[in-house]
Chain A
């Protein structure tokens, strides 16, 4: 079974600074998707960014970017120019290409200091 590990329970960042969240995963598949989801206190799950494993280019979405290292099975999220609204739980998730089953990491809480 696939596993997803987020080793940082909590990260703190100053407003306008950059923070990087770590994620590692274990799989024997070669084709899959990776996601970062944001969960604010409202508990709504919001997709932040996605990465297809067959693409070497790292995905970016405005202030959010990933560093995808397929051989190392690493998928980190960088939040640039952090804003107060970025404060939330962030979950890394893995999905096999053949199905719609997400495997989540344990989450990292991001605190943004004004």
Chain B
């Protein structure tokens, strides 16, 4: 049981490039989310999904796209990277059927946009 996995761990992009951050979970959780954490701040919600085929915007969705074709995977796409997107990105999953209803976080991806 690997939990929530994210790839890559580190990434450097040039302004205007696009890329996809991968997230996968093997706990059969229906909920998955993407957060970003800027230096000295808490996490902010980018996009979330309540099940395969269903996604919605969070607090800071601009510049990002998501899709959820399977229960396990929830990739985050940066369409045209900007320096303001330099951040640490966390994927999380949870289920309303668990006792603690907690969100399980991946290890994070540190993204630098130059």
The A-contacting residues of B in range 3-40, CB under 8 angstroms, are 31, 33, 35, 40
> Taking the complex as formed, is A75 at the interface, i.e. its CB lies under 8 A from any CB of chain B?
no
> Taking the complex as formed, is A11 at the interface, i.e. its CB lies under 8 A from any CB of chain B?
no
The B-contacting residues of A in range 29-53, CB under 8 angstroms, are 33, 35, 42-45, 47, 50
Enumerate chain A residues within 8 angstroms of B94, measured Cβ to Cβ.
100
The B-contacting residues of A in range 85-109, CB under 8 angstroms, are 91, 93, 99-107
Question: How far is A71 from B54 in the complex, measured between Cα atoms in Å?
Answer: 35
Enumerate chain B residues within 8 angstroms of A100, measured Cβ to Cβ.
31, 33, 48, 50, 94, 96, 103
Contact residues on A (Cβ < 8 Å of other chain), bracket: 20 to 34
> Taking the complex as formed, is B75 at the interface, i.e. its CB lies under 8 A from any CB of chain A?
no
Q: Are B103 and A43 in contact (CB under 8 A)?
A: no
> Taking the complex as formed, is B43 at the interface, i.e. its CB lies under 8 A from any CB of chain A?
yes
Q: Are A107 and B42 in contact (CB under 8 A)?
A: yes
Question: How far is A4 from B90 in the complex, measured between Cα atoms in Å?
Answer: 19
Q: Which residues of A contact B (CB under 8 A)?
A: 1, 4, 33, 35, 42-45, 47, 50, 91, 93, 99-107
- Listed by A's residue number, 16 A-B pairs whose Cβ atoms lie within 8 Å are A33-B101, A45-B43, A50-B100, A50-B102, A93-B42, A100-B48, A102-B35, A102-B45, A102-B103, A103-B45, A104-B43, A104-B44, A105-B42, A106-B42, A107-B40, A107-B41
Q: Which residues of B contact A (CB under 8 A)?
A: 31, 33, 35, 40-45, 48, 50, 58-59, 88, 90, 92, 94, 96, 100-103, 105, 107-108
